[in-house]
Structure 1
Amino acid sequence: MKLVNFTRTIVREKPSPKAISSCLNLLVDSNRVDLARQLLLHAKRSLIYKPNVCIFNILVKYHCKKGDLESAFEVVKEMRNSKYSYPNIITYSTLMDGLCRNGRLKEAFDLFEEMLSKDQIVPDPLTYNVLINGFCRGGKPDRARNVIEFMKNNGCCPNVFNYSALVDGLCKAGKPEDAKGVLAEMKNSGLKPDTVTYTSLINFFCRNGQIDEAIELLKEMKENECEADTVTFNVILGGLCREGRFDEALDMIEKLPHQGVYLNKGSYRIVLNSLTQKCELRKANKLLGLMLSRGFVPHYATSNELLVRLCKDGMADDAATALFDLVDMGFQPQLDSWELLIELICRDRKLLYVFELIDELVTANS
């Protein structure tokens, strides 16, 4: 009701296009597209300032985001019929993106050609990137490559984002050599590959057991003053763990924060999960201590699994210490973890530990 009253107030005040845009954004953000359409209709009929292309584009974007492409095209039809506004590059880019995300690649490319021939709009790198991403997501990186060539032949220099999208698409299609060729092409054209570009290739190598190639790329990033981010390092950590190179992964976890690299809880969890699953319990327990000391709590299931495995492996002291430390961080282990640990310690006749554990159990569940 408040939105309806607000809309009526806006209309009475004979608003400017900017005010109409603000109101439309508010309505579509509140999923009141019915009121948004009414406001647009009233603006076309009655207001001094007629809706401009920016106003129509708000509704086009909304419908594309919802996957309702027919309604989006209906808005464009209204735009043309209004005689006050015509589709611009943003209109076309939004429609093309909506089509690509719904797998309608041919229609997206047909629309691109219509933009060139019918409205004689010159595409920019952002518009081209819609097609590049669309073809790559659709498993057609060769078509995306053709888009890059079309850009160059028509006087539009591909930027880092265009090349990065193509590199990612080629990697996901299992064409790393082609991706490396695009990387070389980027450098030759004077562009500096960014973190996203390198991470796409690094991820491919890590997923395919080529961790040494991934590490070489990481070194190349450093040489080119391209800063690897948390995502890049997490990919490397996962690759090392899949190859069983736990000491290298642990060394990275230990040293990277001292080198100014931010690691998130996912970084620690990747390595801890792998160590636990591979029964590298001493290393897992040591990493748990480091993780907790840095303020990160492991995943609930992993913590319970580690505690149970420590118990079953006869590492009562380590399990008890880990349990106390976890509880101090607000973690509540499953009952079977407590039972196993208490049973194991009783077997070792360490009654003081038993009393401490029971006290912790009562405190944690009170």
Structure 2
Amino acid sequence: MNVVSRKSRHLLSVEPLSSSSAQFVSPLQNLKVSTDRGDTPAETTATETVFTRKSKYICHESAINFIKREKNPENALEIFNKVSSQRGFQHNNSTYGIILHKLAQCKKYQALDAVLHRMTYETCKFHEGIFLNLMKHFSKASKHERVLEMFYSILPIVRSQPSLKAISTCLNLLVDANETDLARKFLLSTRKDFHLEPNTCIFNILVKHHCRKGDIESSFGVMKEMEKSEVSTPNLITYSTVIDGLCASGRLEDAIQLFEEMVSKHQIVPDALTYNALINGFCRGQKTDGAKKIMEFMKKNGCHPNIFNYSSLMNGLCKDGKLEEAKEVLNEMKAAGLSPDTVVYTTLINWMCRSCKTDEAIELLKEMKEKECKADEVTFNVILGGLCRENRYYEALNMLQRLPSDGVYLNKASYRIVLNSLCKEGELEKAVELLALMLHRGFVPHVGTSNELLVSLCNAGKVNDAVRLLFGLVERGFKPDPPTWTVLIDLICRERKLLPAFELLDELLA
């Protein structure tokens, strides 16, 4: 079937939609079509490419793929509109879903609203999943009123009551965004308008909200209401959330009591997440011996610790200054067949460096490489800090110079850690060397460090070095503060080097 003839191709943007779909005006229809100039070939849009082949019917699956691949949301919308001009084509839930996702992703809200309006006239069956996706987009963009709008659009467009999943999704997004008033009004309106009683999932969202606020008593109140309800009952998530809230509030005895009640009275079997809440709580309270006992109890009762349990215990032992015990936990983790990740290794490396055991930390770094566990910039920054604390500046500088050629990404913090230490210890020559390397690689030091280094160079009689570095810094937008500027100009003038002073003034006033 001929979808579009060559003669009418440029008229597609103003061609009405077929009778199978409701009239919808694309925002692109007002764009002017530019005429060809000389021998310059006309620019081919993505939309025209889709419709260049004769007798090629664009099915729903192809339309979805074209829209998904199109980076420009306006072109994607144009494709969406033009495929509906085909005889016998009618958009369905999937094609509407992909164009709405694309427009929401690109924050094209006016066009999105026009598509939503068009959906109210369609006869195809829509599913509420489209609106759950839009709720998440609007929540991410901090448009919380629009999250509610998407929920209330379900009934008129999907033509069925929102499910409990839709209610819990909307409520969870509002609670996570700390929109307490909106969440309360929303929950009351769902009870009134839809006569829906909250299920366990919805109650758990409220429990989580109260625990995050530190209002544990209100979370207990919600649990009591759950027990009275016919459609909900406290489950493992409920208890784990409240136990975590109690631990975060320092109420460890109450947390253990609730844990025992959950197991003995309600026969709810705890999982690794529940145990982790207790381990974290005891470690946070500097009661690592209690955390170790919980880990032993966990293993005896058939719940195998995961990497997060071991990591929490290790971190607590490190903070408690028990490095040897932390290393034993690492070895136990490996013996259990678990592979430590970058976070686990970096945690232990950090505390080793803080305890001036940088050589041991470097050995762990080598182990990471052997185990094919990739160290990130945080890992290397920790080791750079450790080397500087032990005044091993040559090794730190060598690492900064070598790592990029080894394919390791370094950030500006990597250089600043070493530069700040060099300036603090008065290692001016090494500081100048490092600053030159930073500028060469496109990194600019902190303003305070730059001013401090320039003044230190001047006070040490290294005016030439100070001026040379200042020119490099000024080229990258740095402006010395008034005290630094005063010292520089004063010393330059004393040495009768007026030309550099005038050049500096020209640079700064440009």
> Is TM-score (shorter-chain normalized) higher than 0.5?
yes
Question: Quick one: which of 233, 238, 254 aligns to 2:401?
Answer: 254
What amino acid does structure 1 have at the position aligned with 2:327?
A: K
Local SS of the residue matching 1:184: helix
Structure 2 counterpart of 1:90? 237
Structure 2 counterpart of 1:321? 468
Give the C-alpha shift of residue 174 in structure 1. 0.9
Rate the CA distance shift 1:339–1:45 in 2: closer, same or farther, 3 A.
Answer: closer
Q: Deviations over 1:97-123 (max 9, x none)?
A: 211111111111222112212222211
Residue 285, structure 1, aligned to residue 453, structure 2: no
Rate the CA distance shift 1:30–1:274 in 2: closer, same or farther, 3 A.
Answer: closer
Give the C-alpha shift of residue 70 in structure 1. 1.8
Superposed, 1:56-67 pairs within 5 Å as 56-67=203-214
Rate the CA distance shift 1:75–1:11 in 2: closer, same or farther, 3 A.
Answer: farther
Structure 1 counterpart of 2:374? 227
What amino acid does structure 2 have at the position aligned with 1:194?
A: D
Structure 1 counterpart of 2:423? 276
Structure 2 counterpart of 1:264? 411
Rate the CA distance shift 1:103–1:10 in 2: closer, same or farther, 3 A.
Answer: farther
Q: Deviations over 1:139-173 (max 9, x none)?
A: 01111111111111111111111111111111111
Give the C-alpha shift of residue 329 in structure 1. 1.5
Local SS of the residue matching 1:182: helix
Give the C-alpha shift of residue 252 in structure 1. 0.8
Local SS of the residue matching 1:222: helix
Quote the Cα distance in structure 2 between the aligned partners of 1:130 and 1:2: 34
Give the C-alpha shift of residue 30 in structure 1. 5.1
Quote the Cα distance in structure 1 between the aligned partners of 2:408 and 2:150: 49
Question: Quick one: which of 422, 431, 454 aligns to 1:307?
Answer: 454
Quote the Cα distance in structure 2 between the aligned partners of 1:53 and 1:71: 16
| Contact map agreement 2:317 2:326 (CA 8 A) in 1 | yes
Quote the Cα distance in structure 2 between the aligned partners of 1:243 and 1:267: 16
Rate the CA distance shift 1:357–1:35 in 2: closer, same or farther, 3 A.
Answer: closer
CA-based RMSD of the aligned residues comes to 2.3
What amino acid does structure 1 have at the position aligned with 2:335?
A: N
Quote the Cα distance in structure 2 between the aligned partners of 1:207 and 1:271: 15
Superposed, 1:97-176 pairs within 5 Å as 97-176=244-323
Give the C-alpha shift of residue 292 in structure 1. 2.0
Residue 37, structure 1, aligned to residue 192, structure 2: no
Q: Which of these two proteins has the greater Rg computed from alpha carbons?
A: 2
Unaligned stretches of 5+ residues in structure 1: none
Rate the CA distance shift 1:154–1:26 in 2: closer, same or farther, 3 A.
Answer: closer
Give the C-alpha shift of residue 49 in structure 1. 4.3
Give the C-alpha shift of residue 241 in structure 1. 0.4
Quote the Cα distance in structure 2 between the aligned partners of 1:4 and 1:124: 33
Local SS of the residue matching 1:314: coil
Give the C-alpha shift of residue 45 in structure 1. 6.7
Quote the Cα distance in structure 1 between the aligned partners of 2:329 and 2:176: 40
Deviates more, 1:263-272 or 1:294-303: 294-303
What amino acid does structure 2 have at the position aligned with 1:155?
A: G
Percent identity between the two aligned chains: 63
Quote the Cα distance in structure 2 between the aligned partners of 1:345 and 1:223: 54
Local SS of the residue matching 2:217: helix
Give the C-alpha shift of residue 80 in structure 1. 1.7
Local SS of the residue matching 1:126: helix
What amino acid does structure 2 have at the position aligned with 1:175?
A: K
| Contact map agreement 1:342 1:357 (CA 8 A) in 2 | no
| Contact map agreement 2:474 2:508 (CA 8 A) in 1 | no
Give the C-alpha shift of residue 182 in structure 1. 1.2
| Contact map agreement 2:154 2:161 (CA 8 A) in 1 | yes
More helix by share: 1
Residue 211, structure 1, aligned to residue 338, structure 2: no
Question: Quick one: which of 197, 202, 227 aligns to 1:80?
Answer: 227
Quote the Cα distance in structure 2 between the aligned partners of 1:56 and 1:7: 22
Residue 55, structure 1, aligned to residue 202, structure 2: yes
Rate the CA distance shift 1:40–1:288 in 2: closer, same or farther, 3 A.
Answer: same
Give the C-alpha shift of residue 39 in structure 1. 3.9
Per the normalisation by structure 2, the TM-score is: 0.67
Structure 1 counterpart of 2:100? none
Q: Deviations over 1:202-234 (max 9, x none)?
A: 222211222211112211222222222222111
Give the C-alpha shift of residue 135 in structure 1. 0.9
Quote the Cα distance in structure 2 between the aligned partners of 1:46 and 1:338: 69
- Which has the higher relative contact order, 1 or 2, with Cα contacts under 8 A spaced 6 or more apart? 1
Give the C-alpha shift of residue 361 in structure 1. 2.8
What amino acid does structure 1 have at the position aligned with 2:304?
A: C
Quote the Cα distance in structure 1 between the aligned partners of 2:147 and 2:343: 44
Quote the Cα distance in structure 2 between the aligned partners of 1:6 and 1:335: 54
Structure 2 counterpart of 1:198? 345
What amino acid does structure 2 have at the position aligned with 1:299?
A: H
Local SS of the residue matching 1:244: coil
Deviates more, 1:265-274 or 1:347-356: 347-356
Per the normalisation by structure 1, the TM-score is: 0.92
| Contact map agreement 1:338 1:361 (CA 8 A) in 2 | no
| Contact map agreement 2:148 2:170 (CA 8 A) in 1 | no
Give the C-alpha shift of residue 243 in structure 1. 0.7
What amino acid does structure 1 have at the position aligned with 2:169?
A: S
Local SS of the residue matching 2:162: coil
Quote the Cα distance in structure 1 between the aligned partners of 2:481 and 2:314: 45
Deviates more, 1:332-341 or 1:273-282: 332-341
What amino acid does structure 2 have at the position aligned with 1:80?
A: E
Quote the Cα distance in structure 2 between the aligned partners of 1:46 and 1:112: 38
